Amino acid sequence: DIVMTQTPLSSSVSLGQPASISCKSWQSLVHDNGATYVSWLHQRPGQPPRLLIYEVSKRFPGVPDRFSGSGAGTDFTLRISRVEPEDAGIYYCMQATHFPRSFGGGTKVEIK
Amino acid sequence: EVYLLESGGGLVQPGESLRLSCVASGFPFSYHALTWVRQAPGKGLEWVSTINREGDRAYYADSLQGRFIISRDNFKHTLDLQIHSLRADDTATYFCANDPSTGYYDFWGPGTQVTVSS
């Protein structure tokens, strides 16, 4: 099974400052078809997750452009260029290249 | 507008069975895979199961094999999850999610809470 290791576990970021979250897997997440199915989701308390980024770097419609994803192979990063108050919550990476699917453990982001 | 709504959760005793359902609309239901994800209280997300668009192929988390059965009805636009021999560690909020290309989950229901306790 693919383990997705997210770091940091938590982060306190000042309003308007950048934030970065890392996600690493021990096995390549490149699918046989050449695509890399790594996505990022954001969850606020009491709400379902919301998709931000899919296929490593594609922003889901409606997601602000301050969110960006990058990476390849086994190392991936979510960046927020300038955090806003609504960006508080928990961020998860997820791989859908291999079954069973797997999520990272989550990164809690607090806005100062 | 895409809409998914889970139901069927509640308080159940260990060893009992439960059937969760998810009704969906706003997207071409029979052309998309569908997925269940769960989240134990205060914990992270755990992938449970995915079913293909035809409903003839299902995938499960290794630890859940044999107790969970996913199914779908492409006429009624519903997704089900049967859970047997419920255990305390099955206590979680269960979300259904749309899986349009097997690579990501773009829309999620609000979740249904399952509590397993005597």
The three-state (H, E, C) secondary structure of chain A, written as one string: CCCEEEECCEEEECCCCCEEEEEEECCCCECCCCCECEEEEEECCCCCCEEEEECCCEECCCCCCCEEEEEECCEEEEEECCCCHHHCEEEEEEECCCCCCEEECCEEEEEC
Answer whether A106 sits within 8 Å of B45, measured CB to CB: yes
Query: Does residue A48 sit at the B interface (CB-CB below 8 Å)?
Result: yes
Answer whether B45 sits within 8 Å of A41, measured CB to CB: yes
Q: Which amino acid is at B109?
A: G
Mean residue pLDDT of chain A comes to: 97
Q: How confident is the model at residue B86 (pLDDT cuts 50, 70, 90)?
A: very high
What average pLDDT does the segment A10-25 reach?
97
Query: Does residue B110 sit at the A interface (CB-CB below 8 Å)?
Result: yes
Q: How confident is the model at residue A36 (pLDDT cuts 50, 70, 90)?
A: very high
Closest chain B CA to residue A42? B45
Give the model's pLDDT for residue B100. 85
Report chain B residues whose CB lies below 8 A from the CB of A47: 110
Closest chain B CA to residue A100? B61
Query: Does residue B41 sit at the A interface (CB-CB below 8 Å)?
Result: no
Closest chain B CA to residue A39? B104
* Test mutation, B3, B49, B104, chain A, max A CBs within 10 A: B104
pLDDT of B102 strictly over 90: no
Q: Is B89 helix (H, G, I), strand (E, B) or coil?
A: helix
Closest chain B CA to residue A40? B104
Query: Does residue B59 sit at the A interface (CB-CB below 8 Å)?
Result: yes
pLDDT of B65 strictly over 80: no
Q: pLDDT tens for residues A70-112? A: 999 999 999 999 999 999 999 999 999 999 999 999 999 999 9
Mean residue pLDDT of chain B comes to: 95
pLDDT of B103 strictly over 90: no
